[in-house]
Amino acid sequence: MRTAFLLLAVAVMLVVASGPARAQTDLKDTDARGEPLPEELENVGITEKLGDAIPLDLVFTDENGDEVTLAEYFDGSRPVILNLGYMSCPMLCGLVANGMVEAMRGIDWTCGEEYIVLSPSIDHTETFRLARAKKQSYVAQYGREAAGQGWHWLTGGEDQIRALTDAVGFGFAWNEARQEYAHAAVLIVLSPDGEVMRYLYGIQFEPRTLKLSLVEAAEGKTGSSLDRFLLYCFQYDAEAGRYGPAARNIMKAGGAITVVVIGGMILGLKLRERRQRDRA
């Protein structure tokens, strides 16, 4: 009975603690004033491709200078966070990566154990030596040893990069005037088999949203009973960019727990009455 009460209490507390919605950062066809975007930004943004599979035969170079295929990082059991950006980015990519690390540190799952992180560069001129330096820096910031085997920084040719970004709907473009790439701030959660499962927008990510996205992407192949219970009670709100309470599911779960609790109380009373009769 204690377990049942605990599950119900956790669900209620999470409902109360749900924060305000956070807007997506996808670029649209017009700016905030309703004016057309500059020509160089027309193809920049996110076209969600939920349910599509990425091409796992694409070849990249890892942080050690070795050629690898994406298939090597999808083992059929662990979900993958795809963190697209480029390593010489002056601001946005670092903010996204830092936000991701903060959220990763806020959950009990560990990169390299329950899930994998891939950080491919969208800049085909970047080298594996820069990737190695970035990996060392961010693994140290994350602070969990297993990440050394679970977080991979990749570089590749222009064709390979475009094939991957097109597969997940990640539009980006080179801005000649600013000498930098224009792109959206987003993390993409993939299933253990490479299917696009979730887009998380922004530069800050709620640990609960990240955890539930990974649980959902894992397709039941990993995660505790409590994780699956919370996933049942919380559904993803695409407009808010996070998981929100599903009232109907919570009512169902609460009703089921109530039945179990009441049944346990009745059984306890019957057992106590039987013991009293036996003593008499």
Percent pLDDT > 70 in the chain is 65
Q: Tell me: pLDDT of 204 over 80.
A: yes
pLDDT digits (tens, 9 = 90+) for 242-252: 545 544 444 45
> At 275, is the pLDDT very low, low, confident or very high (cuts 50, 70, 90)?
confident
Predicted pLDDT of residue 3: 44
pLDDT for 43? 80
Total-model pTM: 0.69
Average pLDDT, the chain: 79
pLDDT value, residue 274: 72
- Asked if residue 69 lies in contact with residue 59, where contact means CB atoms within 8 angstroms, the answer is yes
For residue 269, the model assigns a pLDDT of 64
Q: Is the pLDDT of residue 159 over 90?
A: yes
**Is it true that domain 26-223+233-245 has CATH number 3.30.420.40?**
no
Find all residues with CB under 8 Å of 30, minimum gap 6, and list them.
Answer: 36, 37
Instruction: Give the model's confidence band at 232: pLDDT under 50 very low, under 70 low, under 90 confident, else very high.
Output: very low
Predicted confidence at residue 26, as pLDDT, reads 43
Query: pLDDT tens digits for 99-151?
Result: 999 999 999 999 999 999 999 999 999 999 999 999 999 999 999 999 999 99
Using DSSP, state whether 13 is helix, strand or coil. Answer: helix
Name which residue leads in pLDDT, 227 or 50: 50
The per-residue pLDDT for range 69-93, each reduced to its tens digit, is 999 999 999 999 999 999 999 999 9
Give the pLDDT of residue 260: 54
Q: What pLDDT is recorded for position 17?
A: 37
5-30 pLDDT per residue, tens: 444 343 333 333 333 333 334 444 44
| Range of weakest confidence among 34-38, 98-102, 135-139, 275-279 | 34-38
